[in-house]
Amino acid sequence: MEKTAAELLSPAETLRGRAMAPDPGLEFLAARLAQQDFAATLLGVPASRFQAAYSCPDCGSGPDIAHGRPGYLLDGGPAPLALSASRRSGWVLCAAVVHPEPGLRVGVDLENAAGTEFAGFDDVALTRQERQHLGALEPGQRPHERARLWARKEAWLKMTGEGLRVSPDSLDVLDSPGLWDLALPDCAEGRELPVGLVAALAVMSR
């Protein structure tokens, strides 16, 4: 029998979604369902056998935690998956490595160039070298490049698990091994992707 969203997601995930305003809450829950379906498809098991297992560097892990690094329990044990996800402009991007070697970590990020176009962004988000790199480009090329750098930073910081606890202007991502720009298709699921979306992936073993 088909399970409902509330039966598939953990109570902590449902609570987190309900605490949001209606539209962001629905987007959050839909993304969590898509992510669970993605993980289940990769491992070839029904999504109903997964239980969300998040871990936050500040709050720890356990059934009440629905934020931080994503993961799942499968029939009670850790699902063999290094997983990451990002939501932007109504889309979710998931990345995973199945049966990862011990210590392998993944981070993925989806950005919209419009989201990085505000005064002061470069001063708080970019290193001096990155600001010089941006300044050397034609003005028309800068918005895409700014978003590309930001996606690389967030992918990296999800991969390490630190998130924005690390000051982004201290992290240089111009040429970091383990980081890739992802080429996005024009369409997915029969819908056009918004113009200006960029994505990055970080994968590294400890």
- Phi first, then psi: what are they for 140, rounded to 5°? -70, -20
Quote the least distance from Cβ 88 to ligand COA, whole Å: 6
- Greatest alpha-carbon span in the chain: 58
Pick from 10, 86, 116, 127: which binds ligand COA (CB under 6 A)? Answer: 86
Closest approach of ligand COA to the CB of residue 37, in Å:
14
Shortest distance, position 150 Cβ to ligand COA, whole Å: 9
Q: Taking the complex as a whole, how short is the minimal distance between the CB of residue 63 and ligand COA, in angstroms?
A: 15
C-alpha 176: how far from its chain's center?
Answer: 18
Cβ-based nearer residue to ligand COA, 137 or 205 = 205
163 touches ligand COA (CB under 6 A): yes
Tokens of 26: 């629905």
Which residues does 171 contact at the CB level (< 8 Å), separation at least 6?
127, 153, 156, 157
DSSP string over 33-88 = HHHHHHHHHHHTS-GGGEEE--EETTTEESTT--SSB--EEETTEE-SEEEEEEEE
* Closer by beta carbon to ligand COA, 33 or else 74: 33
| Site track for ligand COA across 170-199, x = CB under 6 A | ------------------------------
- Kind of pairing, strands 197-205 and 179-182? antiparallel
Distance CA 149, CA 146 (A): 5
Should residue 158 be labelled a site residue for ligand COA when binding is judged by CB under 6 A? yes
Residue 85 contacts ligand COA per CB under 6 A: yes
Residues that bind ligand COA (CB under 6 A): 31-32, 56-59, 67-70, 84-87, 109, 154, 157-158, 161, 163-164
